[in-house]
Amino acid sequence: MLTNIFYVWSDSPALSLAIWLVICITLLYAGRPHGHQLLRSTGRAIYTSLRLASASIRQLEERVKERNRDVLLAMGREASEKAVEREFHRINAIVERDLSQYPSLHRKLADTLQKIQDDYHEASGEVLLPPAWSEVMDTIASLPTSGDPAVVKILENIQDAVENSHQQSFKAYQKNANERHKILNSMQPEWRTLNSTMSKVQNMLTGLEERSKIIDRHMADYESLRKAEDKAVNSLTASSLTQFFIASLVLVIAAFGGIINFHLIALPMSEMVGGASYIGSVRTSDVAALVIIMMEITMGLFLLEALQITRLFPVIGSLDDKMRKRIAIAAFTILVIFASIEASLAYMRDLLALDREALAQSLAGATVAEAQFRWIPSIGQLVLGFILPFALAFVGIPLESFVHSLRTVLGLLLLGFLRTLRVLIRTTGGMANHLSKMLVSFYDLLIMIPLSIERAVKWHRENSTQNARLEASELDAEDESAPVGPKKRKATSRRSRTVDDVADDLPFNVQEA
């Protein structure tokens, strides 16, 4: 069909091709303004609409960014409040534990001080000072005797009497000094008691001081969060991402633990619920095993929630202490029951596996071998069946971190997606615009021959017009000596605009074209 159309003008392919080319080029030349308008308007329309879409995505991106920031700040504030609350609880505990004994400590301190004071007063009584006696003795010895025996004797008697008195007073002084030393010696343990009591007080005050410093730090963080500072937001984002990866890792580990737990109880569960029934395409025994594991995890969540380790369920957290304690006891009891069931199931699994193995050996025609130390894996499975539920019960802690950090991570991912989409849309719009320009140029390239002719004709026409004007102006100059400068400049400028039009003009509508 197409071949027939091609050869409609002539049987010669070259001639047909030439005719078709001429027709096409003529048609393209005739439709040049409309072609240009079509290409440019399409390019512009795509560019404008994509730019509009990009702007709306940018708005959405800003909203998501704002929302992420709000979520982060709210989470940070909540965490700071919790931290401050915890520190106050610790201070309360310190005060209750240590400072509640302070009155008795104070009484002890006062008693010790009183005793020390009394002892001091006792030790600070008047003391006979022996040095005065020696001076009296020296004075008596230096008195002139004048050789009178009676005087000498009197003086000797006086000296003896003084000497005796001195000895007595010295002994009394020594005794007194010994007693004071004893008193001072007895003060030593009191000083030690005083020292240790003061150390205790110092320790208490130091602990409180450290706590108060931590509270100050938390309050500074809280203040920074309240002011919504960028530093705090960045810090929270990094912290949230770290939390997300750590929590994910722990959850993956927990998932593996859950899979092992599942395989431990799935087979023996078929003894309870039957091995031939199905729910959908899944065995009922498998579903039952999964349900038991899920129930264990749920009980673990409730237990952690009741102990206020996690805060996934505000309803439990808002209950009074007595009710929470009851819930914790109930959850722990159910968990223990489940763990016991699992331990028995795990043991049963071992027995079933043993039986199955024996049957398989019997069907294969082999003699059933008596396995040695078979009790070790049996006990191992029993213990594993009891331990795993408790291990899985702690999954609530990483789960809470995961849920909290997931919101931030999802927000960041959404933000990244929107940003990428915006860049792609902007790039596509720009490319569409440039492509339309390229197509316009290509269009002109296809019809370059008629365009060259058109340009040549225009140039020739303008030259003739210019020459006519020059001739006319020369005649006028001869006649009236009129200036010709401005007219020349005008002609030049018009010519240059014509060249520009040919080179770069991309018309938007038919009139412009």
Which C-beta is closer to other proteins: that of 46 or that of 232? 232
Dihedral over Cα of 464, 465, 468, 474: its sign: negative
C-alpha dihedral sign at 288, 292, 295, 297? negative
Between 150 and 315, CB nearer to other proteins: 315
Q: How far is the CB of 226 from other proteins (least distance, A)?
A: 11
DSSP secondary structure, 8-29, as one string: TS-SSHHHHHHHHHHHHHHHHH
From 462, 465, 487, select the one nearest 476 (Cα to Cα).
487
Min. distance of Cβ 266 from other proteins in angstroms? Answer: 11
Nearer Cβ to other proteins (345/432): 345
Tokens of 481: 């000596």
Complex with other proteins: residue 225 or 432, whichever CB lies closer = 225
125/497 Cα distance (integer angstroms): 124
Residue 505 Cβ, how far from other proteins at the closest point, in Å?
56
Shortest distance (Å) from residue 210 CB to other proteins: 30
Kindly state the smallest distance separating residue 353's Cβ from other proteins, in Å. Answer: 10
Task: Indicate the SS3 state at residue 279.
Answer: strand
Backbone angles phi, psi at 420, to 5 degrees: -60, -45
SS3 state of residue 415: helix
Q: In the complex with other proteins, which residue's Cβ is closer, 352 or 484?
A: 352
User: Of the candidates 318, 248, 258, which has an alpha carbon nearest to the alpha carbon of residue 292?
Assistant: 258
Residue 369 backbone class (left: φ over 0; alpha: ψ -120 to 50; beta: rest): beta
Cβ at position 270, least distance to other proteins in Å: 6
Closest-CA residue to 415 (of 68, 55, 74): 68
Task: Give the residue among 364, 369, 503 at the shortest CA–CA distance from 437.
Answer: 503
Looking at the Cβ atoms of 91 and 272, the one nearer to other proteins is 272
Considering the complex, what minimum distance in angstroms separates the CB of residue 397 from other proteins? Answer: 17
Where along the sequence are the contacts to other proteins (CB under 8 A)?
Answer: 70-71, 73-75, 77-78, 267, 270-271, 274-282, 314, 352, 355-356, 359-360, 362-365, 403, 407
Residue 366 or 369 with smaller CB distance to other proteins? 366
User: How far is the CA of 477 from the CAs of 472, 474, 491, in angstroms?
Assistant: 9, 5, 18
Long-range contacts of 139-144 (CB under 8 A, 24+ apart): none
User: Closest CB to other proteins among 169 and 248?
Assistant: 248
- The amino acid that residue 372 corresponds to is Q
- Give the nearest distance from C-beta 278 to other proteins in angstroms: 5
Beta bridge partners of 283: 278
Residue 77 or 108 having the CB closest to other proteins: 77
Distance CA 169, CA 130 (A): 7
If the CB atoms of residues 44 and 407 are measured against other proteins, the closer one turns out to be: 407
* Residue 95 Cβ vs other proteins, minimum distance, rounded to whole Å: 29
Q: How far is the CB of 307 from other proteins (least distance, A)?
A: 20
Beta-carbon count within 10 A of 349 CB: 22
- Residue 188, H or E segment: helix 149-226
Distances (CA, A) of 187 to 112, 173, 177, 195: 9, 21, 15, 12
Residue with Cβ nearer other proteins (77 or 437)? 77
- Please report how close the Cβ of residue 106 comes to other proteins at its closest, in angstroms: 43
Are 261 and 293 in contact by the 8 Å Cβ rule? The answer is yes
